[in-house]
Amino acid sequence: MEFGPNFWMYNLNNVTDEKEFYEKLNVLLGNLTNLAALGDSRRKFATGNATTENSQEKMYALVQCTPDLTQPQCSDCLNQAIKLIPTCCSKRQGGRVVSPSCHFRYEKDTFYELVATTPPPSPAPLSVLSPPPQATADAVPPRASTAAKIAKTSAIVQTTIANVLPILLLLWSLQHNKPVKLQEMLSVHVRKSGNSYADLLENKISAIPSDLIAMVNL
């Protein structure tokens, strides 16, 4: 710790009640000295304010030590500086003493940023990701779902074929000027082939079956 060389400065304005002012100031600087000495290796400083009871004079103060000082060294350095107040700053509304290892300052008006003494905010807690939902016993496997879709589509196709085929035969017969009884034609063909209406197209018949053509030519 190095207390010298040191210097001081003071405010040109005087206080209203010197005794009351410096009694309150000594208490304030003593409390701030204890707070600053408790600082860690990154910073050792403290700020605060007080108001006299009778004259209602406001005072703001700041004390600081270099971070390399231990707690006893910081307290000792600041106490030596504060003892110089009657010499440097008697009756003054403000003053400061600066040494290589510590310094303090007080003023009737604020001279520091109030946010500087606010501790840094605590880091936000890490959010815990929810585990993915587990598959239940009732869940349908992808393959089973696909098979169900295929079966449903096949049933729709068969129904559509059964409904459309008579219309196609009617158009064909009208084009050849051979109107026929479609129900009779289809019934005969189904009895002969043993197929259903849908089988006519599912068997990929490239043309109208010959037995149907024969009936049309009758």
Q: Give the pLDDT score at 198.
A: 52
Whole-number Å distance between alpha carbons of 75 and 64: 10
Query: Which of helix, strand or coil describes residue 79?
Result: helix
Domains, the chain = 7-116 (3.30.430.20), 142-217 (no CATH)
Whether 204 contacts 215, CB under 8 Å:
no
Backbone angles phi, psi at 11, to 5 degrees: -80, 140
Could you list the mean pLDDT of each consecutive 10-residue stretch along the chain, which spans 218 residues? 88 92 95 95 93 92 95 96 92 94 95 62 57 57 60 62 56 53 54 55 46 47
